[in-house]
A and B are shown apart, each in its own frame.
Chain A
Amino acid sequence: MKDIMPVLTRRDFIRGTVGVTLGASVFGLQWPKEEARATVTSVVTVVRDKKAMDSGKNMDITVLEKMLVETLIRVTGQKNTKDAWLSLVKPNDVIGLVPTDHLNPTHDEVVDVVKNSLMDAGITEDRIRDAQGPRNAKKCDALIAIPGLKAHWLTGIGTVLKNYIMYSGSPSSYHQSNSAKLGEIWNLPFVKGKTKLVLVDSLYPLCDKGPQPDPRYQWNYNGLIAGTDPVAVETVCLKIITEKRKVIRGESWPLSPPPICVEAADKVYGLGTSRMDQIQIEHSGWDHELLL
């Protein structure tokens, strides 16, 4: 009898068989068993300030700088930003900043604040580069991912994991069921192990219809979300987007299509944890509609 390759469907999400079906149909390998993984805890910081951005989208740079300081100290456990940066990167590293550059882009102010903070820590300007795109990343020793928080109509979420899609050289091949494979880009030889910090610009996120902006689904969250585990950071971002959608509709409004790339980044590519019970969220600042 001819074997029929299983197809991932809505029913897998209801039955909890996503892993089995994905393992067989997309990855061609067994989905690792949950219990085989080491128990880890990843810290994700959520630093918010009501004054970071007003309703007219005007940014307060001083507030943003303070939020970054708070973020760096909490992520690294160091006493000041200089020590924090130097615990993440080496003084002679060529450091690539990787913002989202188009359609709900990372705010320039966020990128500038990061760059200035690195320079204050003693990293010379000529060692700090824009690393969006594969050519630029190859020349870097360390990467700081700075995506904007947004839902994505093709992949569910289009924030952390998707931020490196241009490194693949073939972005459209990571859509449809292959969006589950977004994590493999983080394991490309010129990318693997280089990401020292993931800092998500969540000042004005988008919870539906991304990547095209739609102001009906954008709001002032006024936050920076950060960590060294990209999957944990993405998982927290996903939670915020999902909760905001519930608030908007007043009922459950799941992301469609479901963001299978997040669980796959954990269980197939070993990039970090997608389990909320293995993530320690450290929140500080504004707590209105935290959504966590």
Chain B
Amino acid sequence: MNADKPNLPKTVGVWNRLEAPRIINSKNIFKYMNGAGELYLGYRFRHLEVFDYTSADQGNILVELYFMESPDDAFGLLSLDWGGEPVSFDGAPAAISNQYFTASTRALYGGGLLRLWSDDIYTRIMAERETPASKEAVLALGKAIAASTQNPPEPALVKLLPIKIDAGWKLRADRLSFFRSHLVLNSIYYLSHENILDLDLSAEAVSAPYQYIPGSGNPKRSQFLLVQYKNHERALQALNRFHDAYLPGYKKKITEETTADSLSLFKLEDGWIAYKLIGKHIAIVFESPDPESVRTILQKNESNLLKKGEGS
């Protein structure tokens, strides 16, 4: 799906748009991002258009339109941080209105920065100085962008994660991220400086914590990761690499037979870890407080995956 190009106004409040946008592609994004372009290249990035709105005495407003290959990629960029005040534009619900938090959140505002997911575009609109007038202008620009685009559903993989698990574990949807790159994974949940899960642009991954709040005492947390590969062979290969790198003390060759029926469970320094190969998916639970919890979280996710016909 390729969105229509948003029609940005020439003037918004006291801000005037400079004529031509700066066009940034995968070659010059490193210069634009001061060497840190991998964040966008870690998703399927097409190009970036940068518009500058200037004012005489109220600072500038920067509009960045990241054109991605698919709405999933644009969603992924928004999902890296759900912080901020949800914003509603015409026809788009702003806050939690249905089962899934992320499905209804398309735009978030905070401190002068509006981040917006619409079609295959991820947008950042940032006022140099936050004032009531600049906030109004930023939101007006967001509305103009949303007006010419549609609201596709969130990535299918995201919807596979159960929100509640029997024993009281709840998904922290406000910390759920969708990604394809190990660099992005490391910025969410550090695993290794190396790409030990063989992630690349053909993979899809989602990670979020599950939290259990007991009647008394501190909340318990487990980090869940689900990766979908191109096919079963790639997933099997990746799981073997992960095991070798992350669990080198536990010698084991993962084969069809060893993974078909049982999950692999280990006690590590920071809690229990378990993984399972499910068709072309790998599911891993990290830092779980006990074997029962890790099993419960993994099995419920597996059953959801199979129920939705994603287990092959």
Contacts and interface: CB of A to CB of B under 8 A. Distances in A.
A257 B186 contact: yes
B190 A10 contact: yes
A57 B129 contact: yes
Interface string A1-43: 0001011111101110000000000000000000000000000
Given A215-B112, A216-B110, A14 B189 contact: no
B33 A103 contact: yes
B30 A8 contact: no
Nearest to A248: B83
Given A215-B112, A216-B113, A256 B81 contact: no
Nearest to A101: B34
Contacts of B113: 214-216
Interface residues of B, number: 37
A11 B190 contact: no
Contacts of B268: 11, 14
Size class of A's contact patch?
35 or more
Contacts of A256: 186-190
Interface of A, helix, strand, loop or mixed by DSSP: loop
Nearest to A56: B129
Interface in B81-135: 81, 83-84, 110-113, 124, 126, 128-130
Nearest to A104: B34
Nearest to A154: B36
Contact of A9 (B83, B84, B187, B191): B191
Interface stretch (A81-89, A109-117, A136-144, A170-178): A170-178
A14 B269 contact: yes
Contacts of A158: 36
Contacts of B110: 215-216
Interface of B, helix, strand, loop or mixed by DSSP: loop
A218 B244 contact: no
Contact of A212 (B33, B186, B194, B248): B33
A8 B193 contact: yes
B36 A7 contact: no
Contacts of A7: 192-194, 196, 245
A199 interface: no
A68 interface: no
Given A6-B248, A216-B113, A258-B190, A171 B183 contact: no
A11 B34 contact: no
B39 interface: yes
A98 B11 CA distance: 37
Contact of B193 (A209, A214, A215, A257): A257
A215 B110 CA distance: 7
A15 B129 contact: no
Most A CB within 10 A of own CB, among B34, B38, B183: B34
B35 interface: yes
Given A10-B191, A56-B129, A153-B39, A218 B111 contact: yes
Given A13-B190, A153-B36, A256-B188, 12 more contacts: A8-B193, A14-B268, A14-B269, A103-B36, A154-B187, A171-B35, A177-B193, A211-B33, A215-B110, A216-B84, A216-B110, A256-B186
Interface of B: 30, 33-36, 38-39, 81, 83-84, 110-113, 124, 126, 128-130, 183, 186-194, 196, 244-246, 248, 268-270
8 contacts: A7-B196, A9-B191, A57-B129, A154-B187, A175-B38, A179-B193, A254-B190, A256-B190
Interface of A: 4, 6-11, 13-15, 56-57, 100, 102-103, 152-154, 158, 165, 171-172, 175-177, 179-180, 209-216, 218, 254, 256-258, 260
Q: List 4 tightest A-B contacts by C-beta distance, closest first.
A: A215-B111, A177-B193, A9-B192, A171-B35
